[in-house]
Amino acid sequence: MGELEPDFSAFPFKPYSIQKDFMKSLYSFLNKGGVGMFESPTGTGKTLSIISSALQWVVDRKEQMKSETSRVLNNPKDQCVSDDEEPDWMKDFVLDNKKNLDGDKKKKDKKLGFGGKVLGEKKSCRDLFNDNEGVELGEKVKKKSEIKVELSEEEEFLVEEYESDDENGDGVRLKRKAGGNSSSDDDDEEDGLEEEEEEDLKVYFCSRTHSQLSQFVKELRRTVFATQLNVVSLGSRKNMCINEEVLKLNNSARINERCLELQKNKNSSVSKVKQEHLGLIWQIVQVQADGGRIRRTKASAGCPMLRKHKLQKQFKTEASEQDALDIEDLVLLGNKIGTCPYYGSRKMTPAADLVVLPYQSLLFKCARESLGLKLKNSIIIIDEAHNLADSLTSMYDSRISFSQLEKVHRHLELYFERFRNLLGAGNRRYIQTLMVLTRAFLKVLLGDKDSNLHSLGEKSSEQNVSDSSMAINDFLFLLDIDNINLVKLRHYIKESNIIHKVSGYGAKRVGFERGGDILNDSVSVVEGSTLSGFQAFVSILLSLTNNDGDGRIIISRRRHLNSVQKEDGFVKYVMLAGEKIFSEVVEQAHAVVLAGGTLQPIEETRERLFPWLLPDKLHFFSCGHIVPPESILPIAVSHGPSSMSFDFSYSSRTSPNMIEELGRLLCNLVTVVPEGMVVFFSSYEYEAQVHDAWKSSGTLTRIMKKKRLFREPRSNIDVDAFLREYKETVINLSGNHPKEGPVSQNGALLLAVVGGKISEGINFSDGMGRCVVMVGLPYPSPSDVELLERVKHIEGLGYSNTSNTPKLGVSNKLANGDAAQAGFSVLKSCNRRGREYYENLCMKAVNQSIGRVIRHAKDYAAILLVDSRYASYPSQMSFSHSANKLPKWIKDRLVSSTQNYGEVHRQLHQFFKFNKGRCNQ
């Protein structure tokens, strides 16, 4: 089968040559499939190029598949003739389509319900307990009818009878009462909603943030594909929920919990007493959201936004009749109809040709399964893929704090004390195991394996306890829990719904036993959410079932910083091996596309995500920028106005003299740079330190005489509103439109942070960013234990066995005062990979930040790299030099050395004068 001649008529403008090359390369790659990396600088129309080529390929293939299917059905004998000429993925598509038409396609059950289902286990897992646990596996379950205890309204918290299928842990099952029902997480979410026919060929487009996804949809609307294809956008509950009572919780985890709780109760017959209990529990949870005031709300057996199935159907119909909708559009439509857009959009997924969704929803296996996403033969496009490996592994991290463990352990004790005589042998064994585990975790955080849990608050008064990291097996042996079958325990937690039973009973005890103190300790217990604590604990247990070399356990013990301030200790699992996770996606999909403005170094990405893929099997495309050379001025600024050499390394950047010299530089720059100017610092802490120093010295006053000052906020305020005000100020205070403020002011200055809300996905086109200043090289903190574990893991990549892995000269324990020095010791001990990874993290952050300012062919901007380490003569530049890791379109035009600041000022003056005159012509 020959390749189709690509037609990119959907591109809404006359494409540049680099855009044509990009589209042809992507289209050709999709014909073959596999893994491809496509690099196109920000501002070169990358998104439109992806849409116009990838979706055109989908349209062409659907037409071809339709033709092939029709031919096979009409002439069955012809199939054998052409089979050898077609790729495997095309055969699969034709076969699936034929099955659909014949009515033989099997329907897969989306529910994960249990009802007698046997779950397979690894036979190599050990038995759940030691012989001295006190309960034999073959003990008969006691009948509740024989126990003369009056449960009254507390019966709702009693877990169903449960036992293992066999002693080897090959399976588990839940004993049901007649008509009984149980659910976990999303099992009941889809009840009552109609099945949708699954489309065979799908494109999944994912990016890091909701705002980036909205930008993608806006670009999609410029093309015919917005009307030709079925498009659906998926988002989080926090972004799509329209239930005001749930939204007031104002926390993603609590919103998810409450939503799931409502779904579990929507079809159940809830007693009046239970309704009152549920109502009181969630009144307590909502206290903080309401500023400490309890509101009497009507308890509900389900979310009011999902009670009418016909409204969900109406939502689907209206959304399908409109052009591609982004998340905001779907929320507006949900509010208009009065039904949930979160679940409404999920029900549209099976029939969609294009699914737009965040990273986590596709790459996190549990989320993918919950959404019912089918990756077989699909096209997966991952945008902003420059930090994909770290983003992927971080999704599988898990963490539980000391205070969460305390609450979970206490609630387990309360529950077991109340119901132990009513529980069957299976439930007793598992609940006791959970208490054994929480006790072990608490002891290791206290640093005292013999601590009495009843006096936890009086223990651990140490001032500086070191953080530790260790392998999974070492951690299990340390806690003496290596004999517990965690896989089997995890199945029990899922099937029995025990975490909801225990947390619900604990909240009820808090609410009813403490009475008048409900706004004090009781609120902190429930508000801290025992359910969240349980879920964190389950995540940690799940992490402990990974292979020993896949990640590391970090133990940070409790610290008393002073008599008032305390730092909560925690146990955290850090996933290090992303290739196994990513292989599940690659094996199923027809093609996986990694796209971004800067994807170098590609070899590091290949080693970390798909090391099995030979370099010549990885398709890589890169293009230059569309801006002419005279529209960009990158300069390595090595000296300040007073001739001081700029050195913003870890040990020198806090020097008062260095901060003062940086202030002098900014005072000069605001006089020559027109309109908007963005300055990037390495962290919020350093930005605040510099700002306060400038304020005290009067530097800030001199800067603000020329430009209005903005500071990137730490809080989660509306970034769009913040940027809108910045843009309006730039326009109003520019030299062309003086409308407000002091007459001498010309534009605005924005102090931003690398890796913050503004450094990625935000466009500073035209006047919003005529100059971007990068202060120093934003290396990650060398005292970060997680980072050091990743560096050591990366350093070991490529070695056939652990005996050849280089020994890094540092202990696994890092004392607080020596953490930074210990981190530098690790980096110095690395041969190549670990150190290069550390340097690449820095330069990827630099490239993302400075790429914000050039957004189209007629745009122009100056890029100032303020640090002597950026400057070098060509003869001194090695491959690892910072300047060599800049994007090619910047590196080729970099002024890498200047004699003094006067030369920098002169070049800036000429650059802006020339481009202003060119734009006015």
Q: According to the model, what pLDDT value does residue 370 have?
A: 87
3-state secondary structure of 347: helix
Q: According to the model, what pLDDT value does residue 152 have?
A: 53
Q: pLDDT band at residue 884, thresholds of 50, 70 and 90?
A: confident
Type and span of the H or E element at 497: none
Give tens-digit pLDDT for 338-351. 999 999 999 999 99
Q: Could you give the strand order of the β-sheet that contains 861-866, starting from the edge strand earlier in sequence?
A: 632-637, 861-866, 771-775, 676-681, 748-753, 708-711
Query: Considering the domain 632-735+745-781+848-920 in this protein, what is its CATH number?
Result: 3.40.50.300
Alpha-carbon span 173 to 520, nearest angstrom: 40
Q: Which residues of 494-522 are buried (b: 16+ CB within 10 A; e: fewer)?
A: bbbbbbbbbbbbbbbbbbeeeeeebeeeb
- Angle, in degrees to the nearest 10, between helices 530-543 and 252-265: 100
Mean pLDDT of the chain: 79
Contacts of 564 (CB under 8 A, 6+ apart): none
Alpha-carbon span 14 to 332, nearest angstrom: 34
- The amino acid sitting at 115 is G
- Cα dihedral 607, 608, 613, 619 in deg (nearest 10): -90
Q: Could you give the strand order of the β-sheet that contains 354-358, starting from the edge strand earlier in sequence?
A: 231-233, 354-358, 203-207, 379-382, 591-596, 34-39, 619-622
Q: According to the model, what pLDDT value does residue 54 have?
A: 96
Q: According to the model, what pLDDT value does residue 809 have?
A: 41
Q: pLDDT band at residue 525, thresholds of 50, 70 and 90?
A: very low
Whether 467 has a pLDDT exceeding 50, the answer reads yes
- Which of 139-153, 571-585, 692-706 has the least mean pLDDT? 139-153
Q: Which single residue is written with the structure tokens 């955290």?
A: 572
- Do residues 289 and 322 touch, judged by C-beta distance below 8 A? no
Alpha-carbon span 35 to 688, nearest angstrom: 43
- Angle, in degrees to the nearest 10, between helices 530-543 and 425-446: 90
Distance of CA 236 to the CA centre of its chain: 11
**Average of pLDDT values for 812-834?**
72
- The amino acid sitting at 212 is Q
Q: According to the model, what pLDDT value does residue 142 have?
A: 42
HEC readout, 867-911: CCCCCCCHHHCCCCCHHHHCCHHHHCCCECCCCCHHHHHHHHHHH
Whether 692 has a pLDDT exceeding 50, the answer reads yes
Q: Any idea where the domains of the chain sit in the sequence?
A: 236-260+304-350, 396-448+466-510+530-579, 632-735+745-781+848-920
- Going by their DSSP bridges, the two strands 231-233 and 570-575 should be labelled as unpaired
Contacts of 606 (CB under 8 A, 6+ apart): 613, 615, 618
Minimal CA–CA distance to 378: which of 128, 126, 206, 575? 206
- Do residues 509 and 588 touch, judged by C-beta distance below 8 A? no
Q: According to the model, what pLDDT value does residue 141 have?
A: 38
Q: How many helices (H) and strands (E) does the chain have?
A: 34, 22
Q: According to the model, what pLDDT value does residue 316 have?
A: 94
Q: According to the model, what pLDDT value does residue 342 have?
A: 96
- Going by their DSSP bridges, the two strands 398-401 and 570-575 should be labelled as antiparallel
CB atoms within 10 A of CB 30: 24
Domains 396-448+466-510+530-579 and 632-735+745-781+848-920 share a fold: no
- Do residues 204 and 381 touch, judged by C-beta distance below 8 A? yes
- Do residues 36 and 592 touch, judged by C-beta distance below 8 A? yes
Higher model confidence: residue 136 or residue 71?
Answer: 71
CB atoms within 10 A of CB 134: 10
**Average of pLDDT values for 349-356?**
95
Alpha-carbon span 412 to 366, nearest angstrom: 26
Query: Considering the domain 396-448+466-510+530-579 in this protein, what is its CATH number?
Result: 1.10.275
Alpha-carbon span 301 to 269, nearest angstrom: 8
Alpha-carbon span 861 to 893, nearest angstrom: 13
Q: pLDDT band at residue 131, thresholds of 50, 70 and 90?
A: very low
Q: According to the model, what pLDDT value does residue 708 have?
A: 94
- Going by their DSSP bridges, the two strands 619-622 and 34-39 should be labelled as parallel
Give tens-digit pLDDT for 22-79. 999 999 999 999 999 999 988 889 999 999 999 999 999 988 888 887 777 777 655 5
Q: pLDDT band at residue 567, thresholds of 50, 70 and 90?
A: low
Alpha-carbon span 828 to 835, nearest angstrom: 8
Give tens-digit pLDDT for 602-636. 888 999 999 999 888 899 999 988 888 899 999 99
Q: According to the model, what pLDDT value does residue 199 have?
A: 59
Q: According to the model, what pLDDT value does residue 226 have?
A: 94
Higher model confidence: residue 873 or residue 398?
Answer: 398
The answer for 766, left when phi > 0, alpha when psi is -120 to 50, beta otherwise, is left
- Which of 35-39, 194-198, 396-400 has the least mean pLDDT? 194-198
DSSP strands (E only) in 705-846: 708-711, 748-753, 771-775, 813-814
- Which of 341-355, 358-372, 814-828 has the least mean pLDDT? 814-828
